[in-house]
Structure formats: structure tokens, C-alpha cells
Amino acid sequence: MTPRFHAALVASIAILGTTFSALPVRADHDHDPRPGLSGDVVRTWNGIAQDTVRAESAIDAQAARVYAMVDVAMYDAVNGILSRRGSNDRDHALVPPQGAPAFGHPVAAAAAAAHAVLVGLYPARAAAFDARLATDLAALGPDSRVQAGRQWGEDVGAAVLEARADDGSSPNETQPAGSGVGVFRAAWSGVQFRNLKPFAIKDAAVYVSPGPPAMDSTDYAGAYAEVKIVGNAAIPDAAKLATYQYWALGAGTSQPPGAWIEVARVVSASQSLDLADTARLFALASMAMADTVAPTYLTKFNVRFWRPTTAIREGDLDPNPSTEGDPAWSARAGTVGGSPEHWSGHSSFSAAAAAVLAGFFCNDAIPFDLTVVPGGPTRHYDSFSTAAAEAGRSRVGGGIHFEFSNQAGFVAGRGVAAEVLSGSLLLERGPTHFGACPR
């Protein structure tokens, strides 16, 4: 373990080590003095972003970037107006509040900001985005406050697009297929995301892993033996297969970050958050997930470790006498996996989002029902951490990750979340923390 990675682990434990379940849901959020400003507009446009990710078959990194851009734009649009009124003195994410109309309608601003970002990213879908914006604005009425809010939201959305125009997400790059013992064999597209510019953290390199255990170690042999059994397609286990399939979230879905956007949609509605708090929650969660992208992709790119299917089929070739090979072994998932094994992106995304949600509410133990694929099964969870643990572990049960890579993803995701929570979107005056939870 490198000193920097160890420092990140220590920091994440120190900041997030509080037992959130023992704390009450905080009710001291700033509220807009005007009634009727719920967070529905934020949930609606996140739903539209999820639908867009599905329709475009975006990869996980692209999805995380889309959600973060949409949510940062909505947060900064709402925060700008409320800050100018003096009712919500919080730090901005990307766009400062100067120039925001104090009399502007924050709901119109949020809708227009999300609309501007999505049109900028997916102009071919502009007609659908335009129709939704028209519906939202019509519901608010034709007064000057709505028009002022709309214009400000459009300006914020344009500023977010400009700020993220050269953020490392393009052009597409591919890492060629590898060869040899311990090396991932297939070509891997999208590796430019290892250079994705952070939204909230200072340095993605802090969270990069030094790699898996040495292949001749007992730790590697233990993880190898575990996945060889629990992830084996030849050993029937309906529960493990169902859990893997529930969390698989491949092409054509909202991707793993989208599953956690859905958690935020469900829980923010159940907790009756107002507009300001809803916008802040989604911005924090989506920035944290987007900021796990670079360390996840950079670790995969640098380490380039083989997946369990290859490792087990060629176990007799590695330097460990305890890893007996099985040339006929297949993963329960029915796939080898499309990127290098170390670490699990499902785990880092899930850990980051779960930690932000627990920190925001100052309570991990908020129950919720979750459907991650429209029309698919619904599962109940008693806490954010329980859902995250299941999501990460599903990759081991599916036979496509080792447990050490599940744990490494958790460490990185929690570390990113700790940094985001401790330094982003905080009050500009007065106490900025409530114990281990942000204010």
C-alpha cells in the first residue's frame, strides 16, 4: 500500500467513521422562505438524465459525468438565486451567484439549467428536452420571475458546459489487449476517463490503488479460492445470480451511478426535502460519483489485472502453488468482464454515493425500496451501506471480481466522499459542520 493510498484510507475512516445509524435525521437545513418549492424539479430532471443515459447506451464514466453536470447546474442555478436573496449562503459548485436575479424563480432556474446541459450534451434529443422544459415553465405561470429564473438557469447551464468542455472525457482512447500471466486480455475502450477533471476533489491520484495482493501471496490465494466457488456458474445459486443480475447495470441501463441517482430520488422524496436541500444532495452525490471515475479508471489502466475467469482457467501458470487451475471454469455472470479487474467500479461508485447520502442525512439507517431498472424487480434496504455492500459483493458472486478489488473500490469511494462532504457546498458563514455531517 502506497503512503498516499494509506493516507486516503486513514482520512476516509477518520471522517466517515461515525456510526450514522445512531444519529437522528437532521432537520436544521436552510429552507427557502417561499412555500411550495419542493425538490420535484430536481428529481424530474434526474429522471430525464437517467432516461438519456439508457437511450444513449452510455458507459459508467459517461453516465457519472452527465449526472454531475446536470446536478451541478441545477444546484448552482438554485443556489445563485437563494444566495442573492440572503436566504441560502452556501458555496457554489462551478458557477458563482454573482449575476443571479434575486427575484428569479428557482424552479424555473433549475429546469432551465438542466435543460441547457442536456441539450448541449445531446442536441439530437433537444425536442424532448424542450417539451419537458415547456411543461415545467407553463406550470409556473407567465410572470417575470419565471422568465428571469429561466434566463439565469440557461446561463448557468451554458457556463457548466463551458467549464467541462475540455475535462478529459474525450476524445475516445483505447488500451490495447494485453497478454501474459496476470494481465487483462481484451482491448478496453474509454480509457481517456482516467484523466477526467475532478468536480470537487483536489487530486484524483490520492485515491489510486497500488494494485492487488502479490500473486504468490496467501491473500491472493484466498480471494482466488473464494471466487472460484461463489462465482462458479457450474454451482447453482439462484440468490447470487439474482443479486448479480439486479446490480449488473450494463449498456442500455442508467449504469451504476444511475442506480444511486435513483436512491437519491426515492429517499429525497420520502424525507420531504425542499428545493435547496434536494439540489444540494444530488450535487454532492453526483460529484462524488463522478470524482471516483478518474481514480477507478487510472487504477484499472495502470494495474491491468486479469479477471477471475482468465485467472482460474490459467491458475496453474501463476506463481502461487495454492491456486489450482480449472480450464473449464466460467463465471456465474456469463461474461469475463469488459475492463481490467482491479478495482470494482460498482464498489467505488456505490461506496461514494452511500457515504454522501449517510453524511447528508447524518443517518445511514434510512430504509428505502429500490428499482434500478424500470419494470425490473424491487428490493428493500434498511440502510445506504447495506445497499452498497450488496452492490459490491454482487460482482464477486457473479464471478467477475475478487473480493480484494471490491474492498479497494469501497476504500476509494469512501475517501472521495469524505473529501467531497468536508469541503463542498458548505455554509459560507457560521458553523460549517454538524459532527461528521456537512452543513
CATH, residue 237: 1.10.606.20
Range of the domain at 84: 3-438
User: What global pTM score does this model have?
Assistant: 0.92
Question: CB 47: neighbour CB atoms within 10 A?
Answer: 16
Predicted local distance difference test score (pLDDT) of residue 434: 66
Helix and strand tally (H, E) in the chain?
Answer: 14, 6
Nearest residue to 94 (alpha-carbon basis) of 170, 157, 166, 49: 157
Q: What is the mean pLDDT of each run of 10 residues along the chain (439 residues)?
A: 41 37 31 58 98 98 98 98 88 96 97 98 98 97 96 98 98 98 98 98 97 98 98 98 98 98 98 95 98 98 98 98 98 98 98 97 97 97 98 98 98 97 90 72
Q: At 203, is the secondary structure helix, strand, or coil?
A: coil
- Return the C-alpha cell found at 187: 482491448
Distance in angstroms (rounded) separating the CA atoms of residues 257 and 82: 28
Predicted local distance difference test score (pLDDT) of residue 6: 40
Distance in angstroms (rounded) separating the CA atoms of residues 437 and 141: 38
Helix (H) or strand (E) holding 174: strand 174-175
- Give the pLDDT confidence of 9-57 residue by residue, as tens digits: 334 433 333 333 333 333 233 333 333 489 999 999 999 999 999 999 9
The CA-based angle 178-182-183, given to 5 degrees, is 15
- Give the pLDDT confidence of 166-224 residue by residue, as tens digits: 999 999 999 999 999 999 999 999 999 999 999 999 999 999 999 999 999 999 999 99
**Exposed e or buried b per residue across 229-254, where buried means at least 16 C-beta atoms within 10 angstroms of its C-beta:** ebbbbeeebeebbebbbbbbbeeebb
Predicted local distance difference test score (pLDDT) of residue 432: 73
Q: Which residues contact 413 (CB under 8 A, 6 or more apart)?
A: 288, 292, 347, 348, 349, 350, 351, 352, 353, 355
Predicted local distance difference test score (pLDDT) of residue 435: 63
Predicted local distance difference test score (pLDDT) of residue 437: 80
- Check: CB of residue 329 under 8 Å from CB of residue 312: yes
- Return the C-alpha cell found at 428: 459560507
Strands 368-370 and 188-189 turn out to be: unpaired
- Total domains in the fold of the chain: 1
- Radius of gyration, CA atoms only, the chain: 22
